[in-house]
Structure 1
Amino acid sequence: MTFREMNAKWFEPASQWIMISGLIFLCQPWVEVLHRYGLSITILGLIGFLVTSHIPPEPEVEDDEEEELI
């Protein structure tokens, strides 16, 4: 598994879930520690998403290129 495949499968969705978690932590009133760091967690997820979304996916090999090699 290449880095680009791992990025598409694990890193980009993980950063999205970190952003969602940060928003949930901001909206809940029961645990003060989660509420206190909710904005920091949201910003961390946003930065991670900005980085991972700018990594292009693996280029797909076309059939024409494979036939030319034979």
Structure 2
Amino acid sequence: MTFRELNSQYLEPSAQWVMIGGLVCLCQPWVEILHRYGLTITILGLIAFLVTSHIPPEPEAEEEEEEELI
């Protein structure tokens, strides 16, 4: 598994879940420590998503048609 495959399968979705988790922590009123750090968690997820979304996906393998042309 290459880094690009790892990024598209695990890192980018986990960054999205961290953002969602930060919003849930921010909106719930019962646990003060989660409410206090909800914005920080959301911002960390946003930064992680911005970094992982700028990594291009794995280039698709060219078909054998190019090899036949050579």
Structure 1 runs (4+) deviating above 3 angstroms are: 65-69
How many Å apart are 1:56 and its aligned residue? 0.1
**Aligned match of 2:22:** 22
**Aligned match of 1:48:** 48
Residue segments in structure 1 that go unaligned for 5+ positions in a row = none
Q: Distance in 2 between the 1:3 and 1:52 partners? A: 11
User: What does the per-residue CA deviation read over 1:31-67, in whole Å, with 9 as the maximum and x for residues that have no partner?
Assistant: 0000000000000000000000000001001212354
Query: Which has a greater percent of helix?
Result: 1
Counterparts in 2 of 1:54-65, with a 5 A limit? 54-63=54-63, 64-65=65-66
Structure-2-length-normalised TM-score:
0.92
Residue identity in the other structure for 2:49: F
**What RMSD, in angstroms, separates the aligned Cα atoms of the two structures?**
1.4
